[in-house]
Amino acid sequence: MANVLVVHGGGPTAVMNSSLYGVIQYAKKRGEVQKVYGAIGGSKGILEEHLLDLLTFSEEQLKLLLETPATAIGSSRYALEKEDYQAMVGIFQKYEIQYVLLNGGNGTMDTCGKIYEACKGTDIRVVGIPKTIDNDIAVTDHTPGYGSAARYIAATTAEVGADVKSLPIHVCIIEAMGRNAGWITAASALARKKPGDAPHLIYLPERAFCEKEFLEDVSQLYKEKGGVVVVVSEGLKDRDGVPIVPPVYRSGRSVYYGDVSAYLATLVMKELGIKARSEKPGICGRASIAWQSPLDREEAVLAGEEALKAAMEGQSGVMVGFIRKETPDLSYQMEVRMIPIQEVMLHERILPKEYQNDRGNDVTEKFIEWCRPLIGPKLRDFIDFQEYLHT
Amino acid sequence: MANVLVVHGGGPTAVMNSSLYGVIQYAKKRGEVQKVYGAIGGSKGILEEHLLDLLTFSEEQLKLLLETPATAIGSSRYALEKEDYQAMVGIFQKYEIQYVLLNGGNGTMDTCGKIYEACKGTDIRVVGIPKTIDNDIAVTDHTPGYGSAARYIAATTAEVGADVKSLPIHVCIIEAMGRNAGWITAASALARKKPGDAPHLIYLPERAFCEKEFLEDVSQLYKEKGGVVVVVSEGLKDRDGVPIVPPVYRSGRSVYYGDVSAYLATLVMKELGIKARSEKPGICGRASIAWQSPLDREEAVLAGEEALKAAMEGQSGVMVGFIRKETPDLSYQMEVRMIPIQEVMLHERILPKEYQNDRGNDVTEKFIEWCRPLIGPKLRDFIDFQEYLHT
């Protein structure tokens, strides 16, 4: 008999708890596991020995994990010190923890690699479960958490698009999360059901943002439509890599910038004299259970199961990866493969050029094909009688 | 045989189309109506004779109205001139329109009253269907559109609350719509399932905002919790009635203010040195079908039906009102009553004192009891293992 430890790191997603559910279910199924500890409050929870055995909860309680946003065991952005890793090994041994599963993004995978190094020479296995709404983890085709964030931005952009079309009096700028990688911003394109649908413009952080071209594009579309929907990444930068919005606050090494959406809405009003407003759902997007992608949830559960399975089979220093299979009928098929953790540690994956259009104000059809299965079932059809008026 | 005209005015809601559905269904049921015209693009659509007969659409298409946000016939904020009202009467007669139904908020009810006056002496009946997310129409207990906006802000605040609790590193300020009336902001309180749940502070536009008290409250809560969720109205004003955020743009008589949420997040960072961020779902909230309140939708359909029914029974110059009945078991029961349009024209209903707490940073239990039935079924239960750790 051996114990399992699950640790959550960084910002939550809509399906982080689903991976935790997968770990717990797999542990129950295998029956060789005595306890599944959750580190309460992230990596600091290990050092403080805030460990809670999750096998003591009822199946009814555990099922709630599938529809609970954020993380039910807490998370942290606590920066670990060198000596912390050695201390951890002692704690794992004290609690007879043989399988350590770290669920997180790039930063957490770095921690995962370091814990793996620290555990060398013991029989403790360390496996990473990928998680990030930003989808910026290397090697894996995509990451649990992304599909739901993508579904949220697509559905929300479609709804806001209907609103703006029905009362076409302004330019509406929606801000999407993802400071360096434009995966979420790009997914807003999935809102479209036919040509001309919102979003009308998409600006990714991978491209140097040109205010002049932006104003030209907005002005042109406003003339045509009266109502324009623009989706922008929160991390837009200029030609020199400097954020287009000035900082609002500095504290030590941390710099806090203003909102890109509000900045651009004001720019449109000042430069074009067109009414503009901004929407910044922010955390609402990553915490939304209503727009959880069913596929994303399923894959998140699978990632948890596969992580524990790999660890119990003796693997260590690896992360669960998703590899998309090429199929003759282009249907979506995915297989799990363990990826050596060194290959993913702190490598940030951005949106490739082939997914960006030439002008830098939209995505390509290729991106849409890649993204479509991840957001789950087709979004609702809306009716718009305005389209039937022949004047 | 006679024709019906439906006109939409002002900003959309998540159930405005449901009222339109109610009108169409009632017209079909009664069978004395030949055509149900939609004025495409709001009141301007009447003057431009952009009228579309909605009875020509299939039941399958019409059913989509119940889950289509915004307005499927378009809306406007077009300011009508005196001569427009006379022109309208001619157009009604030309199209054999006997029943004119205006769906909108305070501004539209004003228009409704003026059209009613213009139609005096004819057999044209004019009835108002109330609609606003802001819930600021007088006399009626509440307004279709509000329940869904309230459900959205409550559910979203609960989700963001789970996120902030699981990674308690910042103060999170959510901005709610409603510039002068705090009904939506107040509804965020419905997110709470137990004491201590988010939202931790609520600031209404009915109360003069005091930055000093706000900072005291935030500081105290941050010490206790590490993560604080604050919900604020977009229209917070100081003791002198001046918006707390400086204007970002002026154009003629229009003044555009910055975002309250971003302003307060920066204030918290600068004055308290605490990390803070802002979320401003804005239009996402009024366009959300996922968080449509089933009761709100049902009542919106009913409002449409009752409006046409009243008109066909000879009433005119009235608005459909909802009167809440007092019941021995405190269960929710509502009855429809026609309200003379003069009683509601341009009267803005704000949140009464009895629904505001003494310090001006929360609502009262009385408000919660009033609001609870309107948002529909109980929100999801979340599981939080952090609460089970006994250290």
Q: What is the pLDDT of residues A146-198, one digit of tens each?
A: 999 999 999 999 999 999 999 999 999 999 999 999 999 999 999 999 999 99
pLDDT of residue A391: 65
Q: Which residues of A touch B283 (CB under 8 A)?
A: 160, 163-164, 172, 277, 279
Cα A217 to chain centroid, rounded? 29
Contact A386, B40 (CB under 8 A): yes
Q: Which residues of A touch B54 (CB under 8 A)?
A: 385
Nearest Cα to Cα of residue A340 among A138, A161, A172: A138
Confidence at B254, pLDDT banded by 50, 70, 90: confident
Q: Which residues of A touch B57 (CB under 8 A)?
A: 383, 385
**Residue with the two structure tokens 């960084």:** A10
Mutate which: A35, A52, A159, vs B, most B CBs within 10 A: A159
pLDDT of residue A390: 80
Token pair of B83 as six digits: 């001569």
The verdict on whether omega for the bond into residue A199 sits within 30 degrees of 0, i.e. cis, is yes
Mean pLDDT score, A262-289: 97
Could you tell me which residues come within 8 angstroms of residue A194 by beta carbon, excluding any fewer than 6 positions away?
Answer: none
Residue of A nearest to B271 (CA): A249
Size of interface A-B (CB pairs under 8 A): 238
Contact B70, A165 (CB under 8 A): yes
Contact B40 A386 (CB under 8 A): yes
pLDDT of residue A130: 97
Nearest Cα to Cα of residue A11 among A278, A287, A296: A287
Mean pLDDT score, A317-325: 97
Confidence at B164, pLDDT banded by 50, 70, 90: very high
Q: What's the CA angle centered on B222, arms B217 and B224, to 5 degrees?
A: 100
Dump pLDDT digits (tens) for B283-322.
999 999 999 999 999 999 999 999 999 999 999 999 999 9
Token pair of B282 as six digits: 């804005």
Please identify which of the residues B110, B134, B296, B362 carries the catalytic annotation: B134
How far off is chain B from A39, nearest CA to CA, in Å? 9
Judge whether A134 counts as a catalytic residue. yes
CB atoms within 10 A of CB A314: 8
Q: How many helices (H) and strands (E) does chain A have?
A: 12, 13
Contact B74 A388 (CB under 8 A): no
Confidence at A345, pLDDT banded by 50, 70, 90: confident
Dump pLDDT digits (tens) for A193-218.
999 999 999 999 999 999 999 999 99
Mutate which: A385, A387, A391, vs B, most B CBs within 10 A: A385
Backbone conformation region of residue B145, classed left if phi is above 0, alpha if psi is from -120 to 50, else beta: left
pLDDT of residue B185: 98
The verdict on whether omega for the bond into residue B205 sits within 30 degrees of 0, i.e. cis, is no
Q: Is the complex ipTM more than 0.85?
A: yes
Q: Flag whether pLDDT at A330 surpasses 90.
A: no
Confidence at B391, pLDDT banded by 50, 70, 90: low
Q: A246 vs A8, A243, A252, A330, CA distance in Å?
A: 33, 7, 17, 44
Token pair of B269 as six digits: 């960072």
Token pair of A172 as six digits: 């509406």
Mean pLDDT estimate for chain A: 96
Token pair of B192 as six digits: 């709470």
Dump pLDDT digits (tens) for B183-218.
999 999 999 999 999 999 999 999 999 999 999 999
pLDDT of residue B347: 83
How far apart are the C-alpha atoms of A338 and A302, rounded to whole Å?
Answer: 13
Confidence at A79, pLDDT banded by 50, 70, 90: confident
pLDDT of residue B82: 93
Contact A251 B266 (CB under 8 A): no
Contact A287 B251 (CB under 8 A): no
Contact B298, B110 (CB under 8 A): no
Residue of B nearest to A11 (CA): B167
pLDDT of residue B251: 86
Mean pLDDT score, A242-256: 91
* Paired residues of B128 in beta bridges: B102, B319
Please identify which of the residues A110, A134, A296, A362 carries the catalytic annotation: A134
Q: Flag whether pLDDT at B244 surpasses 90.
A: yes
B348/B1: higher pLDDT: B348
pLDDT of residue A347: 83
Q: Which residues of B touch A388 (CB under 8 A)?
A: 52
Least confident span in A67-76, A306-315, A339-348, B285-294: A339-348
How far apart are the C-alpha atoms of B261 and B267, rounded to whole Å?
Answer: 10
Dump pLDDT digits (tens) for B40-61.
999 999 999 999 999 999 999 9
Q: Flag whether pLDDT at A346 surpasses 80.
A: no
| pLDDT > 70: percent of chain B | 100
Mean pLDDT score, B259-269: 97
pLDDT of residue A253: 84
How far apart are the C-alpha atoms of A171 and A163, rounded to whole Å?
Answer: 12
Q: Flag whether pLDDT at B180 surpasses 80.
A: yes
Q: B44 vs A281, B81, B343, CA distance in Å?
A: 32, 11, 25
Residue of A nearest to B20 (CA): A385
Confidence at B342, pLDDT banded by 50, 70, 90: very high
Contact B69 A286 (CB under 8 A): no
3-state SS of A159-206?
HHHHHHHHCCCCEEEEEECCCCCCHHHHHHHHHCCCCCCCCCEEECCC
Dump pLDDT digits (tens) for A3-19.
999 999 999 999 999 99
Contact B320, B307 (CB under 8 A): yes
Mean pLDDT score, B234-238: 98
